[in-house]
Amino acid sequence: MAIKLIVGLGNPGKDYQAHRHNAGFWFCDVLAHFYTGAFKKESKFFGEVAQINIAGTSVWVLKPNTYMNASGKSIQSMANFYQIDVAQILVVHDELDIDLGTAKIKFSGGHGGHNGLRDTIKALGSKDFYRLRIGIGHPGDKSKVADFVLHAPNKSEIGLIEDVLSDSLNVIEQVVKGKVELAMQTLHTE
């Protein structure tokens, strides 16, 4: 099934834009730029929206303005309005349990403690959507996680994240066309 909606999870505003938790927003910005899409605020979708064309397929790109913990409201409103099936949604988010400089694609699953995913699953009433998980590494101690995700990566980490965003961009056409297994093979062996 083709992907019709790509959502980046993050927190809106200048204070948050450099934080690791905004990896989903970073990917959407790179994606929209690459496919010459421009974001505009859409109050009915509680976010910023761009429409792009990937390999002949029209795709919506969404950055919710609801803050991470309420992302589902934005995603649900857009999916309902355009009658997009849950399985046609790709949610891009930061992932603590994946090494920095690595990205993985998966279908379905739990939220793994990620509040943006938790709210998305609740709002959509389903966990059966695709995820592009951008590895940001782990601080090593569970008690340091909240502080870790709400701070900017250092210079060497930024380089690794930029590389993985580029690698992810290289497989997005396959993902959108529904060739997810092929995209996984490519991305997971990079």
Q: What's the number of CA atoms in the CB half-sphere (13 Å) around residue 172?
A: 33
Active-site residue flag, 33: no
- CATH (domain of 72): 3.40.50.1470
Q: State which H helix or E strand residue 75 sits in.
A: helix 71-81
Q: Which domain holds residue 129?
A: 5-188
Structurally, the chain folds into a number of domains equal to 1
What does the pLDDT profile of the chain (190 residues) look like in tens digits?
Answer: 799 999 999 999 999 999 999 999 999 999 999 999 999 999 999 999 999 999 999 999 999 999 999 999 999 999 999 999 999 999 999 999 999 999 999 999 999 999 999 999 999 999 999 999 999 999 999 999 999 999 999 999 999 999 999 999 999 999 999 999 999 999 987 6
pTM exceeding the 0.85 threshold for the entire prediction: yes
From the candidates 19, 21, 93, 114, which is the catalytic residue? 21
Q: Which two tokens stand for residue 3?
A: 């992907």
How far, in Å, CA of 89 to CA of 131, rounded?
Answer: 8
